[in-house]
């Protein structure tokens, strides 16, 4: 996705054109890519939940349903529940408390939606980096195959996405808060949208992995 953004910034040196085609809410590739990943994530989460009888604990089934509902809400919020495409007017009551005048709820949280994203990213880092390192250095036993923790912890496929997400987060802070680089071409790209895309990737792989492994268990 970084490559797409860089190519887009090269093709569209005018910021307005770049934003319209790459980062805008209605047509932007980055914004819509996150939604495109979250929708199948919901499907895989639901399909995995239907096979919950193969899990070692009923609480994992509850966890799967909770994750699936959360991702469904995230997908709806990402697209402002369709407003980005169908362009209806935001209801008056919601517009009065929404920072972006959109049909969603995360922009009514006075910036606390950023805190929610940060918590998710911390969870990603703990699950794919911190815990594997703790296991590697012998401070924690590796979860047995088929155990509750084996199912709960993210698989290794989430590691690259987590790294990309954290890097984009750090670069955003660097370019937009600690330097004046964001005044220059290529450094003015919205890395916040990029980190949201990587969070969507992680959620997709997490629920897809649940479904894939449960399907293998069921086939045995």
The 3-state DSSP class for residue 34 equals helix
* pLDDT confidence band for 86 (50 / 70 / 90): confident
Instruction: Read off the pLDDT of residues 57-80 as tens digits, 9 standing for 90 and up.
Output: 999 999 999 999 999 999 998 888
Residues 176/37, Cβ–Cβ less than 8 Å: no
- Output the pLDDT for position 81: 85
**Which residues make Cβ contacts (< 8 Å) with residue 205, sequence separation at least 6?**
154, 155, 157, 158, 161
- How far apart, in whole angstroms, are the C-alpha atoms of residue 50 and residue 67? 14
Is the pLDDT assigned to residue 94 strictly greater than 80?
A: yes
Least confident piece of the model among 38-52, 119-133, 148-162, 163-177: 163-177
- In the chain, what is the greatest distance between 2 CA atoms, to the nearest angstrom? 58
Average pLDDT of every residue of the chain: 85
CA dihedral of residues 4, 7, 12, 18 (deg, nearest 10): 20
Q: For position 112, what pLDDT does the model report? A: 66
User: What is d(CA 130, CA 136) in angstroms, rounded to the nearest whole number?
Assistant: 10
What pLDDT is stored for residue 25 in this prediction?
A: 63
Which residue's structure tokens are 């008056």? Answer: 92
pLDDT of residue 215: 96
Alpha carbon distance 101, 78 (integer Å):
14
Q: Regarding predicted confidence, which is higher, 12 or 202?
A: 202
**Alpha helices (H) in the chain, listed in sequence order:** 2-11, 15-18, 29-50, 58-78, 83-86, 92-95, 112-125, 131-136, 148-152, 158-173, 191-219
Q: What's the rounded mean pLDDT across residues 7-11?
A: 80
Specify the range with the lowest mean pLDDT, choosing from 76-90, 108-122, 134-148, 168-182.
168-182
What residue ranges do the domains of the chain occupy?
A: 2-219
- Note the pLDDT tens digit of each residue in 97-129: 887 778 888 777 776 677 788 889 999 999 999
């Amino acid at each position: 996705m970084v490559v797409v953004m860089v190519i887009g910034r090269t093709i569209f040196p005018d910021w307005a054109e770049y934003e319209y085609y790459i980062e805008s809410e209605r047509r932007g590739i980055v914004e819509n890519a996150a939604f495109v990943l979250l929708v199948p994530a919901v499907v895989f989460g639901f399909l995995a939940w239907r096979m919950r009888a193969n899990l070692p604990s009923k609480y994992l089934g509850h966890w799967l349903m909770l994750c699936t509902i959360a991702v469904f809400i995230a997908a709806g919020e990402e697209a402002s529940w369709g407003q980005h495409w169908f362009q209806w007017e935001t209801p008056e009551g919601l517009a009065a408390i929404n920072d972006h005048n959109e049909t969603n709820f995360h922009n009514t949280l006075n910036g606390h939606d950023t805190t929610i994203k940060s918590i998710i990213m911390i969870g990603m880092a703990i699950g794919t980096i911190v815990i594997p390192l703790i296991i590697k250095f012998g401070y924690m036993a590796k979860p047995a195959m088929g155990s509750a923790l084996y199912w709960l912890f993210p698989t290794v496929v989430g590691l690259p996405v987590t790294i990309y997400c954290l890097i984009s987060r750090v670069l955003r802070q660097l370019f937009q808060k600690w330097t004046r680089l964001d005044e220059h071409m290529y450094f003015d790209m919205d890395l916040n949208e990029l980190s949201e895309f990587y969070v969507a990737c992680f959620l997709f792989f997490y629920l897809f992995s649940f479904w894939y492994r449960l399907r293998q268990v069921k086939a045995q």
